[in-house]
Structure 1
Amino acid sequence: MIGEHVGFVRAVRVAGPGREFLPTSEPVDLVIADGVIADIAPTGNLRPTGVVVDGEGGWLLPGLWDHHVHVLQWALVAERVPLGEVASARDAASIMAFAPESDGRRVGVGFRDGLWPDEPSLALLDAATGDGATYLVNADVHSVWMNSAAFRREGFEPVASGMLREEDAFEISRRLNAMEPDRADDAVERMARAAAARGIVGLVDLDMTWNDEPWQRRVARGFDTLRVSYGTYPQHLDRAIAEGLRTGDRVRGAAHDLVRVGPLKAITDGSLGTRTAACAHHYPGEIGNHGLLTVPPDALVDMMTRATAAGLECAIHAIGDVANAHALDAYARTGAVGTIEHAQLVAHADIPRFARLGVAASVQPEHALDDRDMTDAIWAEQSAQPYPLRALVDSGANVRFGSDAPVASLDPWAAMASAVFRTRDGRDAWHPHQRIDIDTAIAASTAGGSTTPAQISPGALADLVIVGDDPHAADERGLRAMPVRTTLLAGRVTHGA
């Protein structure tokens, strides 16, 4: 049934936003017409029309969104060596010695060196990998460990650590992701189908490139599996303004409106793992290292002012508390509309400012568990709140969930499980006072976010997902493993049925 337009959904129980307005908790039927929900009533009270999906008592939610994805980089993860479980620099180097080559490069991804007992070095990686150009991309993508052959190939001066950080690392990632368009687009198609299989109907693509061109190409090629909002980076802001790109406009030349221009994305500090997130207190053992502001505050205000005047919303990467404060200040000074991406360490006084300024908090709940040990070690002396979630929700902020894939897997059920339970793998809940309820987690996983979620109601878009279990009754493992039966995009089947 993939690609078919559904006219009727039978016998589903509503588990997402909108259920509170229904007259019964018993199964309901839905009529879908022209891509929207035309009617809802208790099962047996509406006449079936068109293609029918039998929900068989499954649970219905609005289609899910991932609000922060690096699409091509995530699509290519399957072609690269996973290093997420590697416990030392020596082990990582040894694994890469036997890694397969692609385009003359050996690429590993997902390592986390913050708690390794040994230090990455050029000499260590050279000894293991020899003359084969070798690249290890940190899980947070803010650093890349390379051997001498890779430095020569890329034209960078070798450094003793073998590590490139921040903009140099981003440039290496851009080069690693540059490939023949058909191969790249095939990988994105596979990624989109896998996303639909987890109930996803839309995402925000923040690949670090000029995203307008590849999305024009993909739409012309027939891409129609997901809704996409794609970002623009500061180095392309002049071009975006000159070409008239405005947030919300459909990609140029498209016959449908699934793919649209998204926000200006600006990275204003580093990351926890690379110890470059801009923080009020220095990093342990590194007096004077408070992280790095990669965009000065005045430059950020100027950039956001220009974007806002041109009709572009903003998405501001801020991880440390200093970076978050400057980002909030910039929103206050410019009147810009948009998000702060990550918000991993926020001063207590700044948490209420998100709601007051109308700035959405685009957060990645899985990162809290990925980073819990590093946070406890590296940010132990920080006075701000690490990974606030309940605090943001309670303050009235609009919270939106994402994965930052490939930093975490593109799976909204994993994000919800981490937000609701703040644990995985049987460990005790981490900062349990920051847990949220499942209804808020579902709302944050829809297009509008926690305060303005997508609804299941007449007139709403028929972006829907039917799952096999009640999310309200699921434990942590059950939520992560949620069986997705059917995904509909404007009433068209993109998965299952």
Structure 2
Amino acid sequence: MTTLLLRNGAVHSPADPFATAMVVENDTIAWIGAEGAAAAHVDAVDAVLDLAGALVTPAFVDAHVHATATGLALTGLDLTGAPSLAYALAALEDHAKRRGLYGAGHVLLGHGWDDTGWPEGRPPTPAELDRATGGATVYLSRTDVHSAACSPALLALVPGEHGDAPLIGAVHHAARAAANAALTPADRLDAQRVARARAAALGIGTVHECGGPEIAGEADFRALLGLARDEAGPDVVGYWGALADDPEHARALRADLGAHGLGGDLFVDGSLGSHTACLHAPYLDDPGAGTGLTHLVVEQVAAHLSACTRAGVQAGFHAIGDAAIGAVTDAARELIQGPHGAAFRALRHRVEHAELLDAQAVAAFAELGLTASVQPAFDAAWGGPDGMYARRLGAERAAWMNPLAALSAAGVPLAFGSDAPVTPLDPWGTVRAAAFHRTPEQRISVRAAFAAHTRGGHRAAGRDDVGVLVPGAPATYAVWDTTELVVQAPDGRLSGWSTDPRSGTPGLPDLGPDLPLPQCLRTAVRGTTVFAAEGSLGQE
């Protein structure tokens, strides 16, 4: 048995709000309290870690990621933030030449462009991609990953006639599959290692991988789960986005793939950025888009929920637009009134993204026991009166995007994620985005946001015994260099911070918009250190 004492810091624990030390035995938290009392609770320690005033918290859970795509974006062509079409094309050409991918026969994958603010007012055309890369096979996913600009060489691999517009819907899925087929198993593993290492360096101890036949395929999904079994790093909880025909099929599919649940990006609709989220009323900025796309109808959603519920398998769907969310709640309401209602609620079926919900939809989530797996960074990127949401929907509808406070007040379980690479892995940035929502009425406290990004992620996967630092819990934690620890007063979300020790509430970093975010010094998963910042926290 190996025993580690972490001392001289602050431990965020409901067991002791004033704790300064923690003892870990092998993979389990053995004790938490005041440093001077440690000797009375453990016979001996094998090693001591001087925290030097640092904060220890539960490690974060990112409840929605795409590991391979995230790793490729971190190491390859990432056009996030490109200010213009001209800039994006120049970056593409430079990347192709620097990486030796210029010319016919080469395959180049990129991500992150967003034309909504470009002065040219349009995405790149196939001919422009061809010229920039000398005829390479190019796949460039939009920032929301629901459309892609493709070169002529890639379009030639996709059945049908194609114009200059980015591909959407089933044709986009076919193009993505063709592009991913160019990845070797080694390429895939390298990207997955990069993504897991980045997560660990940000204090993330668990990620929920949302895979599927239309995302990256079975080989990718199996490889990531195998990597997580074989190599130290953040845990991976796998969700597979494919429909189950009946309970036997649901059980067999889960067992064959090693999936935790059959959901994640099981698409009911697309995204607002690509005009493919399914809405009750048309898009304002593109009449030609109508009300978006529908990938699954109510009957298909109901059949999948029924099969999974009867099999005891957690289900879930990607649903962003109000019409898509309505399809899920309508299907769920049919089932919950039948003989499997209790089992339905117990499984905590998930809705990924759940962006456009009015008060009636929020109430339906609470009634049906659905979990909202959401991404506050979406609001930070696209919310507000001048953001993409307002342009797509108008101010009145946009005000109901990502209604975190309404969901929280209704008692809907929340799990926070990034949807990386759509938005970056950035847990403290996610917490701040929730606390400073661009619609002030939808802000939640830092404490509530932190809980949604730690314990909430575990609960979304049916794991109620993890996500807090208490004796007997798994030793999955992160250590932070941070600003002053504060407790948010109940009378305001943007002011009224308190450090009054009489509150008896564990403190969290002050995440004011102008303050630096905490920096991760160390991450441990079940007692194994999976990240340690260079030159920090030497063991005694």
Q: What is the TM-score of this pair, normalised by structure 2? A: 0.80
| Contact 2:139–2:179 (Cα < 8 Å) also in 1 | no
Measure the CA separation in 1 of the matches of 2:382 and 2:78. 17
How far residue 243 of structure 1 moved from its aligned partner, in angstroms, is: 6.9
Measure the CA separation in 1 of the matches of 2:257 and 2:133. 43
Measured at CA, do residues 118 and 129 of structure 1 come closer, stay the same or move farther in structure 2, by a change above 3 Å?
farther
Measure the CA separation in 2 of the matches of 1:80 and 1:237. 38
The reply to whether residue 43 of structure 1 matches residue 35 of structure 2 is: yes
Measure the CA separation in 1 of the matches of 2:412 and 2:422. 24
Which of 387, 405, 412 aligns to 1:390? It is: 405
SS across alignment from 1:294: coil
How far residue 239 of structure 1 moved from its aligned partner, in angstroms, is: 12
Aligned counterpart, 1:92: 88
SS across alignment from 2:10: strand
CA deviation profile, 1:252-308 (whole Å, cap 9, x unmatched)? 6xxxxxxx6333331101101111111121112416701111101111111222223
The reply to whether residue 444 of structure 1 matches residue 452 of structure 2 is: yes
SS across alignment from 1:306: helix
How far residue 177 of structure 1 moved from its aligned partner, in angstroms, is: 3.2
Measure the CA separation in 1 of the matches of 2:163 and 2:86. 16
Aligned counterpart, 1:163: 166
Measured at CA, do residues 72 and 274 of structure 1 come closer, stay the same or move farther in structure 2, by a change above 3 Å?
same
Aligned counterpart, 2:441: 433
Q: Which amino acid aligns with 1:457?
A: V
Q: Which amino acid aligns with 1:332?
A: R
Q: What is the TM-score of this pair, normalised by structure 1? A: 0.86
Aligned counterpart, 1:104: 106
Measured at CA, do residues 99 and 118 of structure 1 come closer, stay the same or move farther in structure 2, by a change above 3 Å?
same
How far residue 163 of structure 1 moved from its aligned partner, in angstroms, is: 1.6
Aligned counterpart, 1:468: 481
| Contact 2:205–2:235 (Cα < 8 Å) also in 1 | yes
Which of 413, 419, 434 aligns to 2:434? It is: 419
| Contact 1:131–1:149 (Cα < 8 Å) also in 2 | yes
| Contact 2:74–2:194 (Cα < 8 Å) also in 1 | no
Measured at CA, do residues 107 and 239 of structure 1 come closer, stay the same or move farther in structure 2, by a change above 3 Å?
farther
Aligned counterpart, 1:280: 280
| Contact 1:114–1:274 (Cα < 8 Å) also in 2 | no
Aligned counterpart, 2:498: none
| Contact 2:201–2:523 (Cα < 8 Å) also in 1 | yes
Matches within 5 A, 1:277-356: 277-284=277-284, 285-286=286-287, 289-335=290-336, 336=344, 337=347, 338-356=349-367
Aligned counterpart, 1:257: none
Measure the CA separation in 1 of the matches of 2:304 and 2:470. 39
CA deviation profile, 1:354-391 (whole Å, cap 9, x unmatched)? 22222111111111122121111111066471121111
The reply to whether residue 68 of structure 1 matches residue 79 of structure 2 is: no
SS across alignment from 1:386: coil
Instruction: Give unpaired runs (5+ residues) of structure 2.
Output: 337-343, 486-507
The reply to whether residue 197 of structure 1 matches residue 201 of structure 2 is: yes
Which stretch shows the higher mean deviation, 74-83 or 154-163?
Answer: 154-163
Q: Which amino acid aligns with 1:114?
A: T
Measured at CA, do residues 269 and 12 of structure 1 come closer, stay the same or move farther in structure 2, by a change above 3 Å?
same
| Contact 2:243–2:262 (Cα < 8 Å) also in 1 | no
Which stretch shows the higher mean deviation, 268-277 or 298-307?
Answer: 298-307
Aligned counterpart, 2:175: 172
Measure the CA separation in 2 of the matches of 1:240 and 1:99. 48
Q: Which amino acid aligns with 1:71?
A: A
SS across alignment from 1:56: coil
Aligned counterpart, 1:426: none
Aligned counterpart, 1:10: 7
| Contact 2:317–2:350 (Cα < 8 Å) also in 1 | yes
Aligned counterpart, 1:185: 189
CA deviation profile, 1:294-340 (whole Å, cap 9, x unmatched)? 10111111122222333321121111111112112223333543211
RMSD: 2.8
Measure the CA separation in 2 of the matches of 1:262 and 1:200. 21
Measured at CA, do residues 147 and 114 of structure 1 come closer, stay the same or move farther in structure 2, by a change above 3 Å?
same
Instruction: Give unpaired runs (5+ residues) of structure 1.
Output: 253-259, 423-429
The reply to whether residue 377 of structure 1 matches residue 381 of structure 2 is: no
Measure the CA separation in 1 of the matches of 2:290 and 2:84. 24
SS across alignment from 2:308: helix
Q: Which amino acid aligns with 2:111?
A: V
Which of 441, 466, 472 aligns to 1:459? It is: 472
SS across alignment from 2:64: strand
Matches within 5 A, 1:137-156: 137-152=141-156, 154-156=157-159
How far residue 201 of structure 1 moved from its aligned partner, in angstroms, is: 0.5
Q: Which amino acid aligns with 1:473?
A: D
Measured at CA, do residues 99 and 173 of structure 1 come closer, stay the same or move farther in structure 2, by a change above 3 Å?
same
Identity, % of aligned pairs? Answer: 26
How far residue 183 of structure 1 moved from its aligned partner, in angstroms, is: 2.9
How far residue 245 of structure 1 moved from its aligned partner, in angstroms, is: 5.0
| Contact 1:281–1:382 (Cα < 8 Å) also in 2 | no
Measured at CA, do residues 396 and 315 of structure 1 come closer, stay the same or move farther in structure 2, by a change above 3 Å?
same
Aligned counterpart, 1:213: 222
Aligned counterpart, 1:404: 419
| Contact 1:189–1:223 (Cα < 8 Å) also in 2 | no
Which of 113, 116, 135 aligns to 2:115? It is: 113
Measure the CA separation in 1 of the matches of 2:511 and 2:241. 39
How far residue 130 of structure 1 moved from its aligned partner, in angstroms, is: 4.8
Measure the CA separation in 2 of the matches of 1:186 and 1:119. 33
Q: Which amino acid aligns with 2:277?
A: A
Aligned counterpart, 1:357: 368
Aligned counterpart, 1:487: 523
Which stretch shows the higher mean deviation, 78-87 or 447-456?
Answer: 447-456
Measure the CA separation in 2 of the matches of 1:212 and 1:273. 26
Measure the CA separation in 2 of the matches of 1:240 and 1:228. 25
Measured at CA, do residues 216 and 342 of structure 1 come closer, stay the same or move farther in structure 2, by a change above 3 Å?
closer
